[in-house]
A and B are shown apart, each in its own frame.
Chain A
């Protein structure tokens, strides 16, 4: 994420929350707001909820953000990559790292598991990571990992 990107105002974020196209065009700025004041982060979350599938040009940015464990950055990066589906198949390495990370929140690991299940064919390392996650003590992570394994057979 560029450290040069300024934090958008609450009004701007509210506009983007109600304009998916504008939100997609300003994804990196929205991610900056995710890690700022709670009020801005709430609008950033809303904008991401409503923006649909991200632009192809943002895949690299999202892929890098999967393991930035600040605020909800990694959580949303994993979620948005998942929305891209098989188009993001080559980014399973970053999602797998998020799935296995000790620094990631439970919610981020769960989102990584969901996203991997949407990528289509998975490589052996990814399947191994999902198998390990399926043994997790976190019942939701375990369930989601199992579902992703089954959906990508």
Chain B
């Protein structure tokens, strides 16, 4: 994201609230914001290559973003010390983790997880969304992040208003800024945390093509944010993401098994390589069995999913003005 003035920050908050409440934003305000050239939705999709499958060590120059479906993260796991200590160690590998499948009546569960993570002196914190789902059984999304390296706020976090009810669990969207002394222009980004219904994954992933495009336009118009990253458990591999790729101009970073049994690609991190210039090319799956040197049976006590991750630079890399001219705004339907 480029630098935002106090006025545009206020507009960001207002629009975030409006979007959350399902109201129409003020067109005059949108027009004012839209005067900024929008680099989103470039006509020529850019290909993306990942270089490394090994999780790099955390470093000052980079940020590690992850997604982790902690299968039925509820009371049974919260009351198991071995499970909580191992989940905490997973979280400590990353700067930000998007979590799916929080299924707990006890709303202290994320605070309990963060307490385990911080047991060795860390400064992790969390954001959590509302309970979601069409059936009686509900789920929540969450973000756990290292507050010594990442800044965020509930003010910049919202649940998508899914007017047409295309998604079982509407994504939780949050904005983040890297806290770093290495640059005066730290990387800013928005994460879109999603868990599809396995029985309707194809339809939901198709629908996300248009929805992600709208989110990207909204994030850019309201906060000049061009780095919008979709991540989560999509229950679908890249071969089922053609609409997501053509409509939203994004590419999945992973095409390898992401579950503990290593036989299906469920989870992914999806970026627009044309705007997300901070991506280092490193992305992969962190295998729980390898990380802890444990059996498949023990790994399944943690989750049936492995975390997936991607690495980014801490400094904002913006398109130059010539490139921005070539990528004119396109807010209408394609």
CB of B199 within 8 A of CB of A46, answer no
CB of A17 within 8 A of CB of B71, answer yes
- The stretch from A54-62, A71-79, A126-134 touching chain B is A71-79
CB of B74 within 8 A of CB of A39, answer yes
CB of B165 within 8 A of CB of A49, answer no
Q: Nearest Cβ in chain A — how far from B211, in angstroms? A: 15
Partner of B76, one of A18, A39, A49, A139: A39
With A42-B103, A107-B135, A110-B134 as known contacts, state yes or no: A10 contacts B76, CB within 8 Å.
yes
Nearest B-chain residue to A140, judged by Cβ: B165
CB of A139 within 8 A of CB of B74, answer no
Nearest A-chain residue to B103, judged by Cβ: A42
Alpha-carbon separation in the docked complex, A37 to B129 (Å): 22
Partner of A139, one of B104, B137, B164: B164
With A39-B105, A42-B137, A139-B165 as known contacts, state yes or no: A79 contacts B76, CB within 8 Å.
no
- In the complex, which residues of chain B have a beta carbon less than 8 angstroms from the beta carbon of A31? none
CB of A42 within 8 A of CB of B135, answer no
Q: Say if the beta carbon of A93 comes within 8 Å of chain B.
A: no
- In the complex, which residues of chain A have a beta carbon less than 8 angstroms from the beta carbon of B76? 10-11, 14, 39, 43
Q: Nearest Cβ in chain B — how far from A83, in angstroms? A: 7
- In the complex, which residues of chain A have a beta carbon less than 8 angstroms from the beta carbon of B200? 114
Partner of B137, one of A45, A106, A143: A45
- Give me the interface of B with A, judged by CB distance under 8 Å: 71-72, 74-76, 103-105, 134-137, 164-165, 198-200, 300-301, 304
Partner of B199, one of A72, A83, A105, A139: A83
Alpha-carbon separation in the docked complex, A114 to B135 (Å): 15
Nearest B-chain residue to A47, judged by Cβ: B72
- In the complex, which residues of chain A have a beta carbon less than 8 angstroms from the beta carbon of B72? 14, 17, 42-43, 46
With A49-B198, A72-B136, A79-B199 as known contacts, state yes or no: A39 contacts B75, CB within 8 Å.
yes
Q: Nearest Cβ in chain A — how far from B219, in angstroms? A: 26
CB of A41 within 8 A of CB of B137, answer yes
- In the complex, which residues of chain B have a beta carbon less than 8 angstroms from the beta carbon of A72? 135-137
- Digitize A59-97: 1 where CB-to-B-CB distance is under 8 Å, 0 elsewhere: 000000000000110011001001100000000000000
- In the complex, which residues of chain A have a beta carbon less than 8 angstroms from the beta carbon of B304? 17-18, 50
Nearest A-chain residue to B76, judged by Cβ: A10
Q: Which of A14, A41, A42, A46 has the most CB of B within 10 A?
A: A42
CB of A45 within 8 A of CB of B71, answer no
- In the complex, which residues of chain A have a beta carbon less than 8 angstroms from the beta carbon of B75? 39
Alpha-carbon separation in the docked complex, A50 to B304 (Å): 11
- In the complex, which residues of chain B have a beta carbon less than 8 angstroms from the beta carbon of A17? 71-72, 304
